[in-house]
Each structure stands twice: as C-alpha cells, then as structure tokens.
C-alpha cells in the first residue's frame, strides 16, 4: 500500500500523522490532500531514517539541496560535508545528482543517514552504472536503473517522461535561444535522435509506475524542456511538455503512485505567477517543484539571489517545493560554503512566500524575532535566525562599546532609547 492508495482507502498512515503535526493540520486534512494528489509525502518504504514531509497545497514551502559526485570533483567527503550543512539548516529534501562512476555506495550511505527525503535522477546514473555507451542502452537497462534506485530507498525520482515525439517536434519547429538545458533531457533527446525511438520513459511509463508503486517512490515528472534562458520561458516547447505531464500525472495517480511536477528554470519576473497557475491547472493541482526560477541571465556568481527572487514569487503564487541555486550555478560544482549560501537564500524565499500565502504559524517565528529585538536579547535573536552561525559571527566580529547595542547605532540604538524611556529613565546620548 502506498501513501496515496492508503489515503484513498480512508487510512491515515503514520507518515500522515507526522506531517499533520509538523504543519499544524489534522491528520484527516493531510489524508484528504494525499488522496486527491494535491499533497505528496515522498517516503520510500526502505528509507528508515526519514522524517516525513508533505509537499503540496496549503503546506509550508519545502526546500531541496542538490549535491553529488561529478567527473571532475568526486570527493565523497566533500559531498557528505554538504549533506551535513543541508541537514543542519533544515533542508527538507536532498537530491543526489551524482553522475560519475559507481554511485550506489554514496547513495546508500546518504539515504542511511538522511532524515530529509532523498531524490535522484536515475538517467544521470545510467551510463556509469551500466558501463555502456548511451546509444547502446536499452529500455530494459533504463528500467533496471530506476529499480535499483527504488530498492536503495530513494523517496522521489525525477523521470523525464513528458518529452515525447510531439514535444520534440514542437521544439524543432519553433526553435530556442538556449535549446535544451536539462541534463537528463539532453541525454534522452540524444538517445531518441540516435536510435529513432520514442522517449523510453514515456513509451514504457506503466512499467516505470509499477516500480514506483512497489517501493512507494514519488515520481517527480521532470521538465526536460524547462527554459534555460529568460528568452525561452513560456515557449511552445515548455507548454507542450507541460500538457503531456498533466496527462502522465493522472496515469500515475490511477496507478497508485504519488506525483510531483517539475518546472522552470529561467523566467522573467512578470511571467512567474501565470506559469504557477498554468501548472496547477494543466496538472490538476499536483505539487509543483521549481528550480528558481532565475529572473535574469546575467548574474553568474550571484544566481542564488536571482533564484531566490524568482522562488519567492513562485512559491507565493502556488509553487510548493523550491530547489536551491548556489552562487556557483553556471560556473562550477558548489563547495560547502556555496551550499550554505544557496540554501539560506532559498529558505528565505520559501519563508517569505509562506507568510504571503498565510500558511498557519509561518509568521510566528518572525514575531518572536521582533520581540527579541525589542528586548535586545542577542542570544534569543540568534536562536530564531535562519542561519544562526552567520548571524553570531557578524555580531561578534565588531564588538560594541555600549552593552545591549551593535556597532551600527551604538548609544543611538532605537530599541535601547525607547526601552529606557518606557522604563521611566533618562537616556544618555552623550556624544563622547
């Protein structure tokens, strides 16, 4: 029994109860959301260390961290340091995007230690796992890799099933400035062009779903045609694929498999809200998982900011799950500091959106921070900060000469002044 089949049978699972407690909802509200497909609880039956999270309408916006071993930088110790930062800062999801060599040992270790849900893109692993040239990989090979990931305990798997021949024809006919920027999508496109076959994940979608159902893997239907340039956003190829994804989402639910839908990408600020509504409409309110969107293409080194801006608008407009972007985006594999900066920026975007959406209890922590600032309680302020380590480091790097203040205002601290007056005392503003 999967989460969605249990929900449809009227059963509240232990995972639903945990999500309800985290979200301030009743278990029945969560069950109803899962039953309808509006909420997904990615929870592979083999992921024993998981602390379940809900992704979907009416819930807190969740944040994902990407990491993994690459061909040029394949230091597992570095990647586990990134995992530690992700867990420390409260990322709800970690995607292992390893694409070099035999990655199964790393993936199993990650799943064994991670309380966050773990996702993968089996297509990335296919060439290294199978030790075959791309054009020699068969449909059975692709399915075998998905099964291995499912057996290992992966909670959600990105499967680029929506890019079928109809979508490819649309892409070729209309053209693009940046072509296909999805790594998985580009590999499938290359395989299709070389073999003349249909997308194997589209053509054999029922077999993919059978594997997912067996282990309760949530299928995250990948957007192979996501725009990698603001110029390409909302174009024919993107929308054509989204229409196909909407059809596949219904098939997955009918098969007892939970669904998330992946989205852009790069997108101008004024297009984001409409795209979020379009996804919800075409994909029947399935949870929406977006990368950014990055709202400009000219900020390498600062793309965590361009993505956080877009992510805040996206989540406030209906996106449910934000994939972080680091300062290293478009430049190199991120290091541990990049992971911290990217994750914090995305968590800010998610939290800001939750306040805007009126998510229950979202504003509580902000109110606590404001109260601590009024009382000038530095320790309490640090405890409420998204990144308490950085907040403390900044404060302690420039000790104030006046207790209870910081070096920005010193004796002229507004909080200190008003607190003193409200206590019936005289404030000392001697300029010396």
Q: Residues comprising the binding site for [4Fe-4S] cluster?
A: 406, 409, 413
Q: Let me know if 33 is exposed, middle or buried by CB neighbors in 10 A (0-12, 13-18, 19+).
A: buried
Angle at which helices 303-316 and 272-282 pack, to 10 degrees?
A: 50
State how far the Cα of 185 lies from the Cα of 423, in Å rounded to an integer. 64
Listing DSSP states for 326-371 in one string gives -TTTTTS---HHHHHHHHHHHHHHHHHHHHHHT-TTTTHHHHHHHH
State how far the Cα of 202 lies from the Cα of 87, in Å rounded to an integer. 34
Q: Give binding residues as ranges.
A: 66, 95, 124, 160, 182-184, 223-226, 262, 266, 289, 330, 406, 409, 413
Listing DSSP states for 257-322 in one string gives --EEEEE-SB--GGGHHHHHHHHHHHTTT--EEEE--BS-S--TT-HHHHHHHHHHHHHHTT--EE
Q: What residues pair up with 64 in beta bridges, in sequence order?
A: 93, 323
State how far the Cα of 285 lies from the Cα of 260, in Å rounded to an integer. 10
DSSP 77: H
CB 191 within 8 A of CB 135: yes
**Ramachandran quadrant class, 90 (left: phi over 0; alpha: psi -120 to 50; beta: rest):** left
Q: Give binding residues for Zn(2+) as ranges.
A: 266, 330
Q: Give binding residues for substrate as ranges.
A: 66, 95, 124, 160, 182-184, 223-226, 262, 289
Listing DSSP states for 185-204 in one string gives HHHHHHHHHHH-PPPHHHHT
316 Cβ contact partners less than 8 Å away, ≥ 6 residues apart:
352, 353, 356, 357
CB 189 within 8 A of CB 164: no
State how far the Cα of 228 lies from the Cα of 117, in Å rounded to an integer. 26
């Amino acid at each position: 029994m999967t989460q969605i089949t249990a929900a449809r049978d009227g059963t509240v699972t232990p995972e639903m109860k945990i999500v309800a407690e985290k979200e301030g909802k009743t278990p029945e509200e969560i069950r109803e959301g899962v039953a309808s497909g509006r909420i997904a609880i990615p929870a592979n039956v083999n992921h024993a260390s998981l602390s379940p999270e809900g992704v979907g309408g009416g819930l807190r916006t969740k944040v994902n961290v990407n990491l993994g071993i690459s061909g040029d930088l394949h230091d597992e110790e570095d990647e586990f340091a990134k995992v530690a930062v992700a867990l420390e800062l409260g990322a709800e999801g970690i995607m292992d995007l390893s694409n070099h060599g035999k990655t199964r040992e790393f993936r199993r270790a990650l799943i064994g230690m991670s309380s966050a849900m773990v996702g993968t893109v089996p297509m990335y692993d296919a060439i290294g796992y199978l030790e075959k040239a791309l054009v020699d990989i068969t449909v059975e090979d692709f399915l075998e890799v998905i099964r291995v990931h499912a057996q290992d305990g992966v909670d959600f798997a990105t499967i680029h099933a929506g890019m079928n021949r109809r979508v490819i024809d649309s892409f070729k006919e209309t053209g693009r400035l940046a072509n296909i920027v999805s790594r998985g999508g580009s590999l499938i496109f290359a395989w299709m062009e070389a073999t003349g076959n249909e997308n194997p994940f589209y053509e054999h979608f029922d077999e993919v779903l059978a594997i997912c159902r067996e282990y309760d893997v949530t299928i995250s239907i990948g957007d192979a045609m996501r725009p990698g340039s603001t110029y390409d956003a909302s174009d024919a190829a993107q929308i054509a694929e989204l229409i196909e994804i909407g059809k596949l989402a219904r098939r997955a639910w009918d098969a007892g498999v939970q669904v998330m839908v992946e989205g852009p990408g790069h997108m101008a600020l004024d297009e984001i809200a409409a795209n979020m509504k379009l996804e919800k409409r075409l994909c029947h309110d399935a949870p929406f998982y977006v990368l950014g969107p990055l709202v400009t293409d000219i900020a390498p080194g600062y793309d965590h900011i361009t993505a956080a801006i877009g992510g805040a608008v996206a989540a406030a407009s209906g996106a449910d799950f934000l994939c972080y972007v680091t300062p290293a985006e478009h430049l190199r594999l991120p290091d541990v500091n990049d992971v911290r900066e990217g994750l914090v920026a995305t968590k800010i975007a998610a939290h800001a959106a939750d306040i805007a959406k009126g998510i229950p209890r979202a504003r509580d922590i902000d109110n606590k921070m404001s109260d601590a600032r009024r009382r000038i309680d530095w320790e309490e302020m640090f405890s409420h900060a998204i990144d308490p380590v950085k907040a403390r480091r900044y404060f302690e790097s420039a000790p104030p000469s006046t207790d209870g203040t910081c070096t920005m205002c010193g004796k002229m601290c507004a909080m200190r002044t008003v607190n003193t007056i409200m206590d019936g005392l005289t404030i000392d503003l001697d300029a010396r």
